[in-house]
Amino acid sequence: MRCPDCGHGNLPGADACENCGQDLRSIDIARRRPAVQQRILDTPLSALDPPEALTVAPSEPVGEVIRKMRAGGQGSALVVDRGAVTGIFTERDALLKLTGRTVDLRKTPIESVMTRDPRVLRDNDTLALALHFMAVGSYRHIPVARDGQPLRFVSIRGVLRHLSERAR
């Protein structure tokens, strides 16, 4: 039996970890999880049927990216260079990085205000993983890669909508 704190391998049935003293008595007790918790742990991101992401080049002007986001009703744009995601630009980036600055939106490239190297999840990653990264990273949009298909994104709004629809 592995200790959840230090990872030490203990004999099955041990009451405490031989290495760190952690109480192990309740580790092997099977617990039934609430349905919504189990759904979060088991549901792959593909089940949300995430929308196709707006993708832009790093050199595209900020003003044009914002125009495309508004036209498509999207809260984010993925910055893609030679087929790889190099950044993400969100409504929050517009507020935090452009407000109060003198910026020529027609000339400033999106790469100068994007969030660099966002975490990209796979289609078979779970809602739990997406929610974990959203909470830890304090962001609301995560790119999702599907083999051979256009990039997609999952938003906290999409996750909550999915869970709400399944709760009925």
Mean pLDDT of 93-104: 91
Q: Please write the tens of the pLDDT for every residue from 28-74.
A: 665 666 778 888 888 999 999 888 999 999 999 999 999 999 999 99
- Mark whether 19 and 51 lie in a shared domain: no
Residue 39 within a domain:
no
Residue 159's CB: how many other CB atoms inside 10 A?
21
Instruction: Show the domain range for 25.
Output: 1-31
- Mark whether 27 and 52 lie in a shared domain: no
91 has a pLDDT exceeding 90: yes
- Higher-confidence residue of 87 and 148: namely 87
Q: CA–CA separation, 130 vs 140, rounded Å?
A: 10
- Mark whether 56 and 102 lie in a shared domain: yes
- Mark whether 26 and 104 lie in a shared domain: no
The residue count for the chain: 168
- At residue 89, the pLDDT reads 96
- Mark whether 109 and 132 lie in a shared domain: yes
Residue 59's CB: how many other CB atoms inside 10 A?
10
Which secondary-structure segment (H or E) carries 87? strand 84-90
Q: CA–CA separation, 16 vs 104, rounded Å?
A: 63
- At residue 1, the pLDDT reads 77
How many folded domains does the chain comprise? 2
- At residue 5, the pLDDT reads 77
Residue 26 within a domain:
yes
Owner of token pair 């990653």? 125
